[in-house]
Amino acid sequence: MPAERRPSCWSNVPAERRPPRAERPPSARVFFALWPPAAVADTLAGVAHTFASQHGGRPTRLDTIHLTLAFLGDVPVSALPELCALGRCLQASRFDLHLDRLAYWAHNHVLWAGCRATPVGLTDLHRRLHAALGEDGYPVDPPGGRRFTPHVTLVRKLDLAESTDWPPLPSLIWHCASFVLVQSVLTPEGPNYRVIETFPLR
C-alpha cells in the first residue's frame, strides 16, 4: 500500500493566489565536434549502409556523420554565446586524420571508424578544448577517466560477435581545418544536428 502523501502547504490556497512555479530556463543539447568534408562523409555513409544491409542495425545518416570532441549535454541557451566565444579563442593547429580501421563496441552495439594512430594535432585539440571547458565549469571528461578514443559512429543497435569479419575500410584522409559547436535535437527518427558555429584551426 503506497505511503500517504502529505498535503502541500499550498493545497488549500486557490490556484490563482499561489506564487508562480519557477520555470526551467530553455536549454540546448550541444557538443563540439569535427565535421567531415562531403567526400569523406559520403564514403563513410556508404560503408555504414553496406554494413547495415548485411548485418542489421541502424546506419548513421549522411548529414549526421561527425567525430565528437566534447559532449556537454543540456546547457542553458543563454550559455551558447559563451561557448562560441570559447571556441573562437581556442588556439590549435590543423591536422590530417587518417581513418583506416573499423571496430565494434559490444557494450553499446556500435560499429565505428577510427585511426590506428591518433595524430598529435587531434590529441592537442582535444586536450586544449577540454581544459578550456573545465576552466569554465563544464565537466566533460569521460566518466571513469577513460582514454579519448577518436571515432566516427557508423552503425547503431548491432548485435554481433567480436569475431565478425569486418569489411575493408577505404583509406580516408580527412583534412581537419576547423571544428564546430553543434546542437542536437532528438526525434523519433534519430537526432537532428544543427551547426551553431564553425571555428577555424590555424
Task: Write down all domains in the chain, each with its CATH number in brackets.
Answer: 26-200 (3.90.1140.10)
Closest listed residue to residue 118, CA positions, set 45, 176, 77: 176
For the record, the C-alpha cell of 142 comes out as 569521460
pLDDT (0 to 100) of residue 48: 95
Query: Do the Cβ atoms of 110 and 156 come closer than 8 Å?
Result: yes
Low-confidence residues of the chain, pLDDT below 50? 1-8, 10, 144
- pLDDT given for residue 1 in this prediction: 39
Q: What is the pLDDT of residue 2?
A: 41
Report yes or no: 104 and 82 within 8 Å, Cβ to Cβ.
no
Q: Identify the pLDDT of residue 139.
A: 76
16-55 pLDDT, tens digit each: 655 556 567 799 999 999 999 999 999 999 999 999 998 8
Per-residue confidence (pLDDT) for residue 3, from 0 to 100: 44
Q: State whether residue 48 is helix, strand or coil.
A: helix
**What pTM value is reported for the model?**
0.84
